[in-house]
Amino acid sequence: MMRVHRVPQMHRALAALVICLAFGASVFAQADQLSNVKGLVDQARAAFDQLDYENTIKSLDSAIGAIEARPTPEAKPLLPQAYDMRARALFGLGKDNDGRADFISLARVEPGYVLPGQVSPKILAVWDEVLKANVTELRLTILPADAEVLLDGARVPANGTLPIAVGDHTLSVSRIGYRQVTQPFTAAAGAATVVDSLVLERTATVFRFVTAPAGVEVVIDGISHGRTSPGPPPPEYAEKATRAGVPVAELSAVLTVTDLPIGAHRIEFRKDCYVRAEARPTVDRLDDFVLDPVKLEPAVASVSVTSNQPGTLVLIDGLQRGVAPMTINDVCEGPHVIELKSQSGRYFQRVDARTGAKITIAGTLRPAFALVSASGPAALNTDLRLTIEKQFQSLQSVTLFAPAADETAKALSAEKLPADWLAFDSNKRALGASAEVAAVMRGDLSQRLSRQFDAQGIASVTVPSAASRNRLVVSLLAAGSSDPDVIELDLDSPDATSLAVDRLDRGLSFFRPSLGMTAVDVADMEGPVIVAVDPNGPMAKAGIQPGDVLLKANSQPVPDSAVLINLLAGRKADEALTLDLKDRAGAAKKADTTVYMTPRLIGLNDQSLMVNKILVDLRNRLQAQADPVTDSVIRLNLAVALARVGNWSEARLELQRVKLNDGPGVGAGTVHYLLGLAAERTGSLAEAEAAWRAAAGTTALETEDGLPVKDLAEARLQGLQRRPSQH
């Protein structure tokens, strides 16, 4: 018998091994295993129903072998019925000992198993016998009742009676706030094992929090204990939520915090953009504390933004929020940087948003220089760029801003530039690595870096001397410029900063009123003497001649040219003026004339101009609609500014778009002269010559108070003649 009993067992073991190996080698995972096991069990059941016990056993050998080899949670529940079925099949084939062995296995796997369906008395007797010998009872009474009770690792109720297999077991009881108890015991056959009045020892308080919304940081006595995660919480919180007036759907999951000592505590509930909440519970005993759901109210302000330019992007703390005009209703309480940005400028405003506040920002975009580098022996841990940003915050015409340090470091690193690549002293001498950067390269870099930081230009700050660390030099480069403007600041002297701000804010005007004549002051004369008259101007038409002395204008005495200039300063085009004069012979004469506006032009060589600032300013102005004459005069000034920073090709393009009339002062002759210079610089000598010849035939001036372009153009033409022949 023994052999008979063993052989099938060996077969079953071998089959199980084969299946196990096959399964083990398979790339299929548990799902496949479960599916196969289920299939085998189903096959076994079909065979069993047809009383085909041989095939039933064959299928179940394979199924049980597979489950025992890999007792997954999904497969394990199939094991009792598999043992049951195989036992009955074995009984059916008369293999009672093998059937009995399967019943023993079944009782040990599931002590509470109840044989289903019709069972023969014989088998039932065997089963009862097996139960008697292998199964007994465990009676549990554990406090607290909600403690987690694990019997051999499987969860069981904390109170009641349950069947267990005879033999060694481990009971583990735990609950948050209590000391865990682990208790091994041996269950003997025929007698119940009783675990009665097992009371866990309380060791800590337990707080449970639920918030609305989720994501709230719970800070107890200044120490963060985590954030609530999205809910829902257990159903028992529904009532609490109703009481707190919070929709259940908004509630978070429960956040449990233990180990709070006896005493008073301060619990803060924090979440960005929400008003903080606070609770101050006092723990007088070790216990569980469950707070009602904590609802945080939103803490936001509304910000309405308008801009002086259409299509302006609005950013808050660097995040794009839309296009102005717009209102943003969810700006969190706290400090923010509101930024407006367009192709021609920027506007910054730092705001401290208070809950419920309505903030209005009317941004005037100004051309901006991004402070990309700082160099020199600065004080430790000082970002000089931020110092400069602060020093120049009162600027009205341009903005200097310091992008994030990591961004500038990344940008300079990408260009392989050291911090002192744009370092100059107050004498405009290149310092350090700056001396190695060629003008052309500087122009390219200013273009690229400006674009990278969405600015109209870039800037740097340098401390030229360790002996005076509070003396800083700021270098400005408009996009595409190779020739920087330098401004010195003395942090110990607010006056120096004011002067620098004034210098940068110095405005440009593009026209000035004129009468079309030149008057000079002469000692012992009672009014300015007219020494030249524009032959096509209003004075000539009114009969004024060189040598006449101007005495009054609109009955106001004009004792000298300064008074005349002041008198004209506030006049508009075509405004009438009645002049009282006397001629060379001393005879009185009167003349009615009108004021006209004459273009103004910055000096091509004027070193006192902050030409990079002017350049970004002029580019900005061109964005606005202007009449054709104003547009031309702005372009003419822009061309000169471009020429000043070495960008002659762009200057030439702008000059070609300028349309001014011939005449004295700044006019078509001025444009011709400058076009000649641009053509010469860009290698077109023939064009330069033609332009200068055109200029030499005019009465135009280099600037409104400058030299006649005739003289300048003729000098240039002579210079061309002196050049060696190109042939």
Binding site for other proteins (CB under 8 A): 424-429, 486, 518-525, 529, 531-532, 546-547, 560-562, 565, 584-585, 603-608, 702, 705-707
Nearer to other proteins, 104 or 645 (CB): 645
Nearer to other proteins, 290 or 565 (CB): 565
Token representation of residue 19: 């299946």
Smallest distance, Å, CB 683 to other proteins? 24
Indicate the SS3 state at residue 64: helix
Count of C-beta atoms within a 10 Å radius of residue 707 = 11
Smallest distance, Å, CB 214 to other proteins? 37
Nearer to other proteins, 148 or 488 (CB): 488
Token representation of residue 700: 């135009």
Instruction: Check: CB of residue 274 under 8 Å from CB of residue 296.
Output: yes
Nearer to other proteins, 409 or 520 (CB): 520
Q: Is the dihedral of CA 68, 72, 75, 78 positive or negative?
A: positive
Nearer to other proteins, 419 or 604 (CB): 604
Smallest distance, Å, CB 427 to other proteins? 4
| Pure H helices in 299-424 | 384-391, 405-414
Smallest distance, Å, CB 429 to other proteins? 7
| Burial zone of 99 (CB within 10 Å; 0-12 exposed, 13-18 middle, 19+ buried) | buried
Can you spell out the DSSP letters for 475-521? EEEETT--S-EEEEEETT-HHHHHHHHHHHH----SEEEE-SEEEE-
Query: What is the C-alpha separation between 38 and 60, in angstroms, rounded?
Result: 10
- Name which of 75, 67, 45, 69 is nearest 57 in CA terms: 45
- Name which of 661, 625, 613 is nearest 637 in CA terms: 613
Nearer to other proteins, 114 or 569 (CB): 569
Helix axes 668-681, 628-644, angle to 10 degrees: 30
- Name which of 485, 488, 581 is nearest 526 in CA terms: 581
Nearer to other proteins, 21 or 707 (CB): 707
Tell me which H or E stretch contains 277: strand 277-279
Count of C-beta atoms within a 10 Å radius of residue 157 = 12
Smallest distance, Å, CB 724 to other proteins? 22
Indicate the SS3 state at residue 296: coil
Smallest distance, Å, CB 428 to other proteins? 3
Q: Find the Cα–Cα–Cα–Cα dihedral 437, 443, 445, 450, rounded to 10°.
A: 140
| Pure H helices in 544-607 | 561-569
Nearer to other proteins, 362 or 529 (CB): 529
Query: What is the C-alpha separation between 301 and 295, in angstroms, rounded?
Result: 19
Residues present in the chain in total: 727
Token representation of residue 155: 């969860």
Smallest distance, Å, CB 722 to other proteins? 14
Smallest distance, Å, CB 412 to other proteins? 24
Tell me which H or E stretch contains 649: helix 648-656
Smallest distance, Å, CB 603 to other proteins? 5
- Return the ∠ at Cα 591 (arms to 590 and 597), rounded to 5°: 150
- Name which of 93, 79, 164, 162 is nearest 123 in CA terms: 93
Tell me which H or E stretch contains 579: strand 576-582
Nearer to other proteins, 272 or 711 (CB): 711
Instruction: Check: CB of residue 14 under 8 Å from CB of residue 54.
Output: no
Nearer to other proteins, 415 or 488 (CB): 488
Smallest distance, Å, CB 528 to other proteins? 9
Smallest distance, Å, CB 523 to other proteins? 4
Nearer to other proteins, 208 or 512 (CB): 512
Smallest distance, Å, CB 468 to other proteins? 9
Smallest distance, Å, CB 598 to other proteins? 15
Query: What is the C-alpha separation between 399 and 293, in angstroms, rounded?
Result: 49
Smallest distance, Å, CB 499 to other proteins? 13
Nearer to other proteins, 282 or 607 (CB): 607
Count of C-beta atoms within a 10 Å radius of residue 704 = 16
Nearer to other proteins, 143 or 522 (CB): 522
| Pure H helices in 515-610 | 538-541, 561-569
Nearer to other proteins, 680 or 702 (CB): 702
